[in-house]
Amino acid sequence: MKIAFLIICGMIFMFTNCVSISKLKPNRQLLKEYAYCRCFQYASGDTAYFKNDVSLSVYLDIANYDFRAYDKIDSLSRMTVAEFRPFESFDYQNKKAVFLNCFNFYESKRLDSLIRSLDKEVNRTW
């Protein structure tokens, strides 16, 4: 009897955990895209392009995270951009590969780890 009870409890826990993770996936993806945009913005500086682009505001509206999460993503993005180094090859004239570096940041385990740690910052609606 105790074994059956433990099995049922375990199945309920696994089911609710899987449902929570599946509902977090879209939010995680949106936060990851927000991080990519932030990286590109910090690497590009204050250009006219960002004055006309509302993408970051849209991500803030649809990703359902508390502002603390965005602050942490902003800090990591800023820190990552500070680590970008120019290519020293003659062909590249010591210029930085902004898209390449931001995409590497987007795909990084470092960003994924931070985003998973921010699950508690999701403003849940389920």
Averaged pLDDT in 10-residue chunks for the chain of 126 residues: 52 44 82 95 80 89 91 97 83 82 96 94 66
Answer whether residue 11 is part of any domain: no
pTM beyond 0.85: the answer is no
Answer whether residue 4 is part of any domain: no
Count how many domains the chain has: 1
What token pair was written down for 68?
């603390």
Q: What is the CATH number of the domain that holds 88?
A: 1.20.120.1620
Task: Give the model's pLDDT for residue 92.
Answer: 75
**Between the CA of residue 18 and those of 28, 44, 102, what are the distances in Å?**
15, 39, 31
Answer whether residue 19 is part of any domain: no
Spatial separation of the C-alpha atoms in residues 71 and 114, rounded to whole Å: 12
* CB 82 within 8 Å of CB 96: no
Task: Give the model's pLDDT for residue 118.
Answer: 94
Spatial separation of the C-alpha atoms in residues 69 and 59, rounded to whole Å: 12
Residue with tokens 């985003």: 115
Task: Supply the range of the domain harboring residue 73.
Answer: 26-121
